[in-house]
Structures are given as C-alpha cells and as structure tokens.
C-alpha cells in the first residue's frame, strides 16, 4: 500500500482525497494487465476506458459551462496514481489534456464544443504538435509556416516527436504566421487528422515506447476559424499550456518514484540476506531514507505548483519548473536505487523496476529539458530579486 499521508497536506480538500481513493481503486482493478505489444490498439483502448470511467473529464474544461476550469491538483493526483500503476495509462490520460490544452485555455465556444466533448469522453484522441527537427528547446525558432490564403491558412513544414502521432484524431499545431520575428510571429491551429496534406512521415521508437511520430504538412489547408486565439499569440499560448501541464509531468515522475519506493519496501522487508531481512542492513536503510526524502520533497513541489495555479495565479512558471526539474531528476535517482535494491531482478526485462528505469528518462527531456527548467527558475528568481 502506497503512503497516502500527503493527502492530509493543506493543498487538498476532501474532494481530492475522495478522487485519489477512487482513482487508486479503479487503477488497481483495470490496469493490472495492460498489453504493451500493440501500442496503438492499447492506447486507444485505454483512452476509451478512461473516458468511460469519467477520468478524462478532468483533462479539459467543460464546454457547456463557461466558468469551468481545469483543476491542476486533480490532474496531478490522476497522473501520479496512473503512473504508479501503469505508465502507458498515464500517457493516454495526459495526452488528452496536453493535446487540447490550447483549446481549453484559449478556444472559442465553438472550438470547445466541437472537440472537448469528444476528447473528454474518450471518443477522440488528441496531440500537441510544437517540436520540429531544428526547434525542440528553441521554440521561438519554429520554421513551419501557416500562410493566409483567402478564408484559409495553408500549413507547410514538419513536426517531430509528436506523442499520439499516428493515432490522434486532432492535432494542435504551432506554426509561423510572421506577425513579427521569433516568438511573436507564431500562431496555433486545430488540425483534424484527416485534413488533406497532413501525413505521418515516420513512426518513432523510444526506450519506453508509446505512439510517437514525425508529421509532414504539405499544402495542408485549414479554415481561418481553426486558429486558436489571435495571430501571433502562439508562443504565449504554448507557454500557458506548458505552465499547466509541466506540473503534471512532475506528478507522473512522482508516481513512478512512489512505485519504485513501494516495491523496494516490499523487497527489503521480504528478502533475507545474511540471516536477516535486508531492511536491517544500515546501508539499505540509507537508500530507503534518500528515496523517501526525494518522494516527499517532490510531492511538496508538485502540489505547491498545482495549488498555486488552482488558487488563481496567472502564471506559475517558476514553481512548475521547480516541480518538474526536481521531481523528474530525483525520480531517476529513486528508481536507480530501486534497481540496486532489487539486484538482478531490477534489470530483468519485463520486471516493473526495469520498466520504470526506462519510463522515467524521457520526462527529463520533454516539455522542457531539465536544463531549460533551470533557465526558467534562474530568470524568474533574478526578476523577483529586483523587488527586494
Ligand atoms: C518521448 C518524447 C515525447 C515527446 N512528445 C512531444 C509532443 O507530444 N509534442 C511536442 O511538440 N514535442 C514532444 N517531444 C519533443 C520534446 O519536447 C523535445 O525533445 C525537447 O523539447 C528537446 O528538444 P530536442 O529534442 O530538439 O533537443 P535540443 O533542443 O537539441 O536540446 C538538447 C539538449 O540541450 C540542452 N539544452 C537545451 N536548451 C538549453 C539551454 N537553454 N541551456 C542549457 N542547455 C540546454 C538540454 O540538455 C537538452 O536536452 C517529445 C520528446 C520525447 C523524447
């Protein structure tokens, strides 16, 4: 049983505690035997199941209620819980939010009702298409163009590393509309997967596989009404979306770390070495202490960022960056210690600890690499220091 004491922290109210219990029970009942052989089919099945159970309602605003907001603490609780049970289920859940984040935060009523009713019920899958071969960290350097032509925009260029690429029904795509150089000349568009001119150029494989693709846009025409927000607002919209979802990446890392700690606690209390449980060896206790500290410190940073956002902070870039940097880097340490404590089993293909070791790595790269989070933290800390 995982440590639940964090739910008593003042960041939460009773509805969060109840949500955490329900999510844990659902995950235990539904995610024990997720098939990782056919990723596309499994992800579609997971989205359908998450939709049927109502969990996807948390990933986007309710189009029927103009006061509806995304509750970041609920998103984080769900991601932490799903990641603790199954990484692919967390991925399937997270993409429904990231892929539609721009619509939830900046979409018109018509855009929300066209897409969010479907993504919140698992009837459509979504994807977030920002990165390009020459602009991953350097978002302002996006080369893909969107050229106005009458009542339409025509998209030309390439996107890469697009999660859900190949299985998504809708992509939110960032492209250069050229109002100004660099970051101020980008806009974002809703592009249904069946739009002529949008092709899956290549499927990509990574160490912890999930559907991932490089996309080619060749004369891909969308109506001007497909733009989210105004021309030139793309960069600001992308950063606002990441401001919400970065804390949730940290929450997923926390879920992986908590699973590694839980299974390590079972291992060291059940396995005997030199005539006594491993847990009596002081160096083992040293590992357990480090792991428990990393997990709690990560949880504090994750739920602080989420609480701040839910309590009306316009931007939480510094806090979300701290949460993502710390939780992902330290989850890597926690999982590495879990591998050590599990001995040979820790590197045995198919063992949960071996899969966590692979799952955690990409979280330190996507949605802003760890180094980029340091830049964000330093920049904001220096700005804040001017007010001293
Ligand atoms: C599994 C996976 C899923 C992904 N899913 C998506 C998705 O759904 N949608 C999407 O748009 N993108 C996605 N990405 C892309 C991801 O966001 C980029 O890979 C990431 O932003 C890094 O960009 P890059 O790979 O081009 O590396 P680069 O930008 O070339 O960076 C390489 C390294 O340089 C260092 N670095 C970068 N900037 C700085 C700096 N300012 N100071 C110091 N060091 C720095 C970092 O260590 C970084 O890892 C995904 C990537 C992966 C691996």
- For the cut 90, the answer to whether the pLDDT of residue 184 exceeds it is yes
Kindly report, residue by residue over 198-216, the tens digit of the pLDDT.
Answer: 999 999 999 999 999 999 9
Task: Kindly report the protein residue whose alpha carbon is nearest to atom 32 of ligand 1.
Answer: 137
> CB–CB of 125/96 below 8 Å?
yes
Q: What percent of the chain has pLDDT over 70?
A: 100
Atom of ligand 1 nearest to the CA of 130: 11
Q: Do the Cβ atoms of 327 and 251 come closer than 8 Å?
A: yes
Pairwise CA distance, residues 279 & 269, whole Å = 5
**367 is an active site residue:** yes
Q: How far is the CA of 135 from the centre of ligand 1 (A)?
A: 8
Of 142, 245, 366, the residue with max ligand 1 atoms within 8 A of its CB, to mutate for a pocket test, comes to 366
Position 316 scores a pLDDT of: 92
* pLDDT(236) > 80: yes
Pocket test residue of 365, 377, 378, 379 for ligand 1, highest count of atoms within 8 A of CB: 365
Indicate the pLDDT class of residue 231, thresholds 50, 70 and 90. very high
With bands split at pLDDT 50, 70 and 90, how would you rate the model's confidence at 159? very high
Nearest CA to ligand 1 atom 40: 372
Number of the ligand 1 atom closest to the C-alpha atom of 98: 8
Under the banding of pLDDT at 50, 70 and 90, the label for residue 276 is: very high
pLDDT at 36: 87
Radius of gyration of the chain (CA): 21
Q: How far apart are CA 69 and CA 62, in angstroms?
A: 8
The C-alpha angle with vertex 140 and arms to 367 and 76, in degrees rounded to 5, equals 20
Residues 117-145 have pLDDT tens digits of 999 999 999 999 999 999 999 999 999 99
**How far apart are the C-alpha atoms of 128 and 91, rounded to whole Å?**
13
Does residue 387 register a pLDDT over 80? no
pLDDT number for residue 76: 98
Q: Which atom of ligand 1 is nearest to the CA of 364?
A: 49
Residues 6 or more apart whose Cβ sits within 8 Å of residue 238? 102, 130, 139, 174, 186, 188
First CA to last CA across the chain, in angstroms? 45
* Å from CA of 183 to ligand 1 middle: 17
Whole-number Å distance between alpha carbons of 106 and 109: 10
Q: What is the mean pLDDT of residues 250-255?
A: 98
- Phi/psi for 283 (5° steps) reads -70, -30
Query: Among 1-5, 40-44, 373-377, where is mean pLDDT lowest?
Result: 1-5
The stretch 83-109 carries a mean pLDDT of 98
Residue whose tokens read 């990165």 = 131
What is the distance between the alpha carbons of residues 383 and 178, in angstroms, rounded to a whole number?
Answer: 29
Q: What is the pLDDT of residue 263?
A: 98
* Mean pLDDT value across the chain: 97
pLDDT of 315 reads: 84
pLDDT band at 247; cut points 50, 70, 90: very high
**In this predicted model, what pLDDT tens digit does every residue of 69-89 receive, in sequence order?**
999 999 999 999 999 999 999
Is the confidence at residue 352, as pLDDT, over 90? yes
Query: Residue 314 has what pLDDT?
Result: 83
Range 53-78 average pLDDT: 97
Any residues with Cβ below 6 Å from ligand 1, and which?
128-131, 136-138, 161-163, 206, 212, 362, 365-367, 369, 371-372, 375
The CA–CA distances, whole Å, from 16 to 3, 246, 250, 301, 371 equal 16, 20, 18, 17, 32
pLDDT digits (tens, 9 = 90+) for 288-337: 999 999 999 999 999 999 999 999 988 899 999 999 999 999 999 999 99
Ligand 1 centroid vs 132 CA: distance in angstroms?
10
Ligand 1: which residue has its CA nearest to atom 14?
Answer: 161
Residue 388 has pLDDT above 80, yes or no: no
Residue 1's pLDDT is 75
Crossing angle between the packed helical segments 87-98 and 234-270, to the nearest 10 degrees: 160
Question: Residue 370 Cα, ligand 1 centroid: separation in angstroms?
Answer: 9
């Amino acid at each position: 049983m995982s440590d639940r004491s964090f739910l008593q922290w003042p960041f939460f109210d009773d509805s969060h505690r109840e949500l955490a219990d329900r999510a844990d029970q659902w995950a235990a009942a539904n995610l024990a035997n997720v098939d990782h052989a056919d990723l596309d089919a499994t992800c579609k099945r997971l989205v359908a199941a998450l939709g049927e159970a109502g969990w996807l309602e948390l990933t986007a605003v309710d189009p029927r209620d103009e006061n509806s907001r995304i509750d970041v603490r609920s998103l984080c609780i769900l991601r932490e819980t799903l990641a603790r049970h199954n990484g692919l289920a967390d991925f399937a859940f997270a993409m429904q939010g990231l892929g539609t984040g721009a619509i939830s935060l900046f979409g018109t009523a018509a855009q929300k009702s066209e897409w969010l009713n479907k993504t919140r019920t698992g009837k459509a899958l979504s994807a977030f298409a920002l990165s390009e071969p020459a602009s991953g960290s350097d978002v302002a350097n996006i080369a893909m163009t969107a050229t106005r032509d009458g009542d339409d925009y025509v998209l030309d260029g390439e996107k890469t590393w697009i999660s859900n690429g190949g299985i998504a029904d809708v992509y939110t795509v960032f492209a250069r509309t050229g109002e100004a150089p660099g970051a101020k000349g980008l806009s974002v568009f809703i592009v249904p997967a069946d739009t002529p001119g949008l092709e899956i150029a290549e499927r990509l494989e990574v160490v912890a596989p999930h559907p991932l693709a490089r996309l080619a846009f060749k004369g891909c025409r969308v109506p001007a009404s497909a733009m989210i927000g105004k021309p030139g607002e793309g960069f600001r919209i992308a950063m606002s979306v990441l401001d919400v979802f970065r804390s949730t990446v940290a929450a997923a890392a926390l879920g992986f770390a908590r699973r590694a700690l839980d299974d390590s606690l079972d291992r060291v209390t059940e396995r005997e070495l030199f005539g006594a449980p491993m847990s009596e060896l002081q160096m083992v206790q040293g590992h357990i202490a480090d792991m428990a500290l990393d997990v709690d410190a990560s949880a504090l940073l994750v739920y602080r960022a989420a609480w701040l956002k839910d309590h009306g902070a316009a931007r939480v870039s510094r806090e979300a960056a701290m949460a993502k940097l710390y939780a992902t880097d330290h989850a890597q340490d926690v999982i590495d210690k879990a591998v050590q404590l599990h001995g040979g089993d820790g590197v045995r293909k198919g063992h949960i600890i071996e899969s966590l070791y692979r799952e955690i790595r990409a979280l330190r790269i996507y949605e802003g690499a760890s180094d980029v989070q340091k830049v964000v933290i330093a920049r904001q800390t220096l700005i804040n220091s001017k007010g001293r």
